Structure 1
Amino acid sequence: MEKNRRLGDTITRLIAKTDLSQNEAYEAFEMMLKNEVSEMQQGAFLAALTAKGETADEVAGGWQAVYDLDTNKVSLNGMALVDNCGTGMDSFKTFNISTAASLVAAAGGVKIARHGARAITSTCGTVDMAEYLGVDMECPVDTVATSIEKANIGLFNGMSPTVHPMALGRILSQICFGSPLNIAASLANPALPTIAVRGVYAPDLIQPVASVMQSIGYTDAIVLYGAIENSRAGMDEASVCGPTTGIHFSNGEFKDLALTPESCGLKTHNPAGIAADPDRHTAAIEMVRLLSGKGDAARNDAVILNSALIFYVKKIVATIHDGVKKARELLLSGSALAQLEKWVTIQNIDPSAGIEKLATLKKQTGVNG
């Protein structure tokens, strides 16, 4: 009861719009992760913190607790790693843009260390998609690390006990609203990348998330929110349906980022063209088609734009326009599908099962090879 009272006092302060210090936030998240307080108190804490509006210190405290207490870590020998997973919980549900973009970037030589989740409010999360394509999403973290080294890409399952053994999956699977835990958890990547393109589910999160990322060791990052023209809905991806706003920081310098599809050499598309598919099987079939270079214009452009930002933040290209050109060539050539085949083979305890699953999808899609 004592810890319930302590967290209750913290919740009362949050209701009164009082900010917590980083240490205070750490202690609150620690009680939640260790399940030392009731689930009702845990939910109330997250709701009160969200309603108040999270600060950078509060998100950093949450990240530190998740990383210190509930993350199996890996070392990749100083590799320059990039993550491109968003926070999720956005108001417009798209197909798995970041999954496709990560494969395009990996095909272009970028070392991608992703940390994602299963679907909570959508039909197919990034982990669900990778698993349906044949990637082993319940494998040990060392297998993921090997995949990053050998296939240029790996995905840590943020809701698996093999990655976060204590509590993260338990809590996230029960919370159906965006909270600072989504942000803190998405940053608790076992490989600790230092470069990222990270989407957030609301524009007012751009600044605090960028500040947190810099404080925990990121050197180069783009934090963004994608809007839909003439709509209040938006996405945790760069948008080809309206403007994208964000922050780009590099070596301590912060700059505002404002993009439109046209400013990047692309077209503005109807959001229906990038909307989530109705079920996981359809989503996987469409992903294979897209990665083979046979996707439709809206989906192609969405992946090209988000891949371009990875090349840009990694300093492989000098401009986003150059990144668009590079991403388009890789996507339309089918190189991303070849990269997926490597990923399925290496991030797998049973590679033959994964390869068979992908082969079946390719056959159903009509993709040769």
Structure 2
Amino acid sequence: MDFDNILNRRNTNTWKWDGEGKDALYPMGTADMDFPMPQEIQHALQEKISQGILSYAADKSYFADAVVSYLNKRDGLQLNPKSVLPGTSLMSVYKLLLDAFSTEGDGVILQTPVFGGIFQVTKNNNRKIYENQLVFDEHTKTWHVNMEELEQFCSLQDTKVLVITNPGNPTANVFTKEELEEMVRITSENGVVIISDEVHSDLYYDDRKHTSILNVTDRAVLLTSSAKVFGIPGLKTAITIIPNEELFKVFAHVNMRAKMDVIDLGLVGMSAGYTQCKYYIDELRTYLQKSKDICVDWFSHHDIKVTLSTPQASYLFWLDFRKWNLDNTTLESLLRKYGIVFSNGVEFGGSHNEGYMRMNVATSHAQLLAALNALEKCYQENLGSFIKL
């Protein structure tokens, strides 16, 4: 793959470029890559369409087989394909998971900052949100769980669910096996169900390996998709894996009542990715490793009063602009004047994210460096009038 030769995505009805990033030089907000999908996926989709038939899928077992085979090899799991349920879009499935394991008014623990979709869906479905705010280590620039607070929230009678994102979105942080084991201990003792969003688990840096929640316990829900790693979010296909028979039955019943189905093209495209495109993941990981190294090196040599959280995985990096002393609305407007669009930190759960932005680095190295240089120019030209240090 030549990841330096990115697609021209302007005027393709792509939200990242034609919606949120309209008229921007550096749209780096939405979690969508600028790289082409693997040819094997494209060919599989074209072959399906060439049949002239897009109907209801009769057989979904090949999809479950492909997912389980891939994850078992990658993570050393022993999953059964019967534990897999495909669904349409990650957040639609998450809504059903909330319905399965909690009711309106129940407590749901979110470890903020957290993906804005998770925060909004939880709030919009009238769950009581307990914010187990992640703790920032100033020395390592990494994020960790406040276990004492987590235990307090789990001990509350109305708490039913803990949601984790691993790797973290937006923190690009990775949970260690020890951290996962401690969270499993706490939730197990209090009858709280863990839902683990692992949608970015294919892309780790510096030889780190992913530890899934299902490496630690089978009494949890894994929510994932290959949409991010293959650049195919438009297929709107999510994957729920629940090895525990009791939990599976609860969710399967809610899933049946909602008549949740899946787009046949999603099954076809993702199966092709899981069975034929490991090379693409490996090459993408190598390219993004260099992107990560570029960012870490750039921020270490350019003093613009912005802190980059240490990226351990994913292509979504968390930037702390608080020393600029701007509210996020003003900051967003200022960055756009220089062609830059980042995701507004306030979207990721709570007022404590004021002053933060999420940057998507899944673009060419040339585009990434140009955006960073534009960011430096923004800082230099506005220091006197906007920034009080």
| Higher CA-based Rg | 2
Higher relative contact order (CA 8 A, sep 6+): 2
The TM-score normalised by the length of structure 2 is: 0.28
The TM-score normalised by the length of structure 1 is: 0.29
